[in-house]
Structure 1
Amino acid sequence: MKASEVFIGIAAHKEYQMPNNSIYYPIHVGSYNKELIGGYLSDAEGDNISKHNANFCELTATYYIWKNVNADYKGLVHYRRHFTSKKSHSDYIKGKFSEVLDEKKLLTLLEDYDVILPTKRKYFIETLYSHYKHSHEIMPLDQTRIIIEEIYPMYLDSFDKIMIRRSAHMFNMFIMKHEYFNTYCEWLFSILFELQNTIDISKYDEQEARVFGYISELLLDVWLEENKVRYKEIPVMFMEQQNWFIKGKNFLMNKFGNKSAEKISL
């Protein structure tokens, strides 16, 4: 396999250090009607949903890749979150760009797996449904179930099974064989666009208005569960030092009903 057959987009809204590897392509998300960051691709080119970035988050880059990129393997990471070539990585340690998943390691993994995913995030005292309810408006997630029941009823059991789990593949990060990437995107966006047409988010605050990005994080495992996809989990590095005390405090505040606490993305 040649490196040119692999396209991993990096969702970014500002200039930032990028991996020194030809398989990675920075994408300026939400670039509609904005000055493009030099050297970045624009999620507003071709068939796109860039103007909806405030609601779809990094999914505007996922959509751009789906509709406009032709490669044997396609994926998405974030400018501050990257897969690592290391066998393990502590969330308490700042990531190093020298340890970002490289071409050689990736191609070796793709010989045996169809999808590369982040190591699952675990919610020991919450189900995925209860965590979402404590962190976000629950109505859109309930409406998503109704939509799945209507247009993809064969996925309903998988949806219900995922909602009571206490772990999930988060961040909307993945690398897939192109046929899986395209099939997943067709399924995902058909649900999200129907949800967009069904719910009213006009009174949501800026954080809560990112609803379609939040919902999609849960739908990935629904799709994986139903289709029995061969996947490999590998660690994710956060490229900045995180304040885990504040994260834990906000998690508990959300769980016990303090809606003034900072919203936490899954």
Structure 2
Amino acid sequence: MKIIVAAHKPYQMPDAAIYQPVFVGAALKTDMPDGYIGDDTGTNMSEMNPYYNELTALYWAKYNLQDEDVIGLAHYRRYLGTKTSHALKDVLTEVDIAHALTEVDVLLPKHRNYFIENQKDHYLNAHLNEPYFVMAQVIHDDYPEYEAAFKTLEKSTKIHLYNMGIMRQELFQEYTDFVFGVLEKVQTQIPYQNYEGQDARVFGFLAERLMDVWVNTHQLTYKEFPLVTTEKTNWVDKGSQFLRRKFVKGDAKKTHF
């Protein structure tokens, strides 16, 4: 079992051996933190990290951790935990994960509910619009079996975020086949190299829309877990930015992270 922890800098990590720090964008950097593995080893897409975010760690795991029975993704600031917490002692243990996977197919972070905004509107208000519409067309043309679930997600106010999940190897390979298959087709159709700031992280944001689409299309069972976040969230700022994006058109955009 390996839960890769995507990180772009040295940071505190869980002590448990199942949590493996992966230094993302390593091909573009020089100093490797102690105890980390670079996402530029083996089969990789490390140089695409500015555009794919934590997904370069996911891609690395897809091809370089195929001997593991269970694979998962966490962020250096976010983990699945036994309770909502800011303490690493509360992250899921190997026993917690193994037990949960005897009951369900996939372990996910607790869903986010935006209440007054569906997922399509939320994305379009927060990000460049063209990539989203290209992805919708790719799903329609090349992955039609997923289109019903995609349209259902568009209308929902709820979503499982962060590209985080834990599952058995077979499902992990199927999930990543879908995610990277879709994104690679989108990549050929948008000028992502011209995007700046948060907009450059386009594929990481698009992929967040694909976890629920994949899970629901295949009618997989899942269990939600609260987040352990090592840094506290400013919910006043988060909420105000959300309302500005929705109601103040043309205003400078700030992402939901």
TM > 0.5: yes
In structure 1, what is the equivalent of residue 201 of structure 2?
A: 210
Could you say which residue in structure 2 is the equivalent of 1:45? 41
Q: Which runs of 5+ in 2 are unaligned?
A: none
Aligned residues: 254
SS at match of 1:202: helix
Deviations 1:113-151 (A, max 9, x none): 121000100010000000111101111111111111111
- Higher mean displacement: 104-113 or 121-130: 104-113
* TM superposition shift of 1:107: 1.4
Q: Structure 2: how far apart are the matches of 1:221 and 1:246?
A: 27
Q: Structure 1: give runs of 5+ residues left out of the alignment.
A: 1-5
Aligned to 1:260: 252
Which residue identity does 2:121 align to in structure 1?
S
Are the equivalent residues in 2 in contact too, given 1:11–1:79 (CA < 8 A)?
A: yes
**8 Å contact from structure 1 (residues 81, 239) kept in 2:** yes
The equivalences for 1:58-97 within 5 A come to 58-69=54-65, 70-86=67-83, 89=84, 95-97=86-88
2:210 alignment partner in structure 1: 219
Give the corresponding residue for 2:12.
17
Deviation at 1:259? 3.1
TM-score of the pair, normalised by structure 1:
0.93
Q: Which amino acid aligns with 1:18?
A: M
Q: What is residue 32 of structure 1 aligned with on the other side?
A: 27
Q: TM-score of the superposition, structure 2-length normalised? A: 0.96
Partner of 1:240: 231
Structure-2 change in CA distance of 1:259 and 1:98 (3 Å): same
3-state secondary structure, aligned to 2:32: coil
The residue that corresponds to 1:110 in the other structure is 101
Is this contact kept in 2: 1:12–1:29, CA < 8 A? yes
Q: Distance in 2 between matches of 1:138 and 1:245?
A: 26
Structure 2 counterpart SS, 1:214: helix
Shift of 1:258: 4.3
Tell me whether 1:161 sits opposite 2:152 in the alignment.
yes
Alignment match of 1:149 (pick from 121, 140, 148): 140
Q: Is the 8 A contact 1:254 1:263 kept in 2?
A: no
Superimposed CA distance per residue, residues 203-248 of structure 1 (whole angstroms, 9 cap, x where no aligned partner): 3222101110000001111111100111111111211122111111
- Distance in 2 (alpha carbons) for counterparts of 1:85 and 1:237: 8
Q: State the 1:9 CA deviation.
A: 0.2
Whole-Å separation in 1 of the counterparts to 2:187 and 2:251: 24
Give secondary structure in 1 for the equivalent of 2:188: helix
> 1:132 and 2:123 equivalent?
yes
Equivalent position SS for 1:198: coil
Alignment RMSD (CA, Å): 1.1
Question: CA–CA distance in 2 between the matches of 1:223 and 1:85?
Answer: 25
Q: Which residue of 2 aligns with 1:193?
A: 184
Cα-to-partner distance string for 1:171-222 (whole Å, 9 max, x where unaligned): 1110011000001101110110110011112332221011100000011111
The runs of 4+ residues in structure 1 deviating greater than 6 Å are none
CA distance in 2, matches of 1:199, 1:241: 35
Give the secondary-structure state (helix, strand or coil) at the position aligned to 1:82.
Answer: strand
Q: Deviations along 1:151-186, whole A, 9 cap, x unmatched?
A: 111111111111110001001110011000001101
Aligned to 1:175: 166
Amino acid at match of 1:63: Y
Q: Determine the C-alpha separation between the residues in 1 that align with 2:122 and 2:137.
A: 19
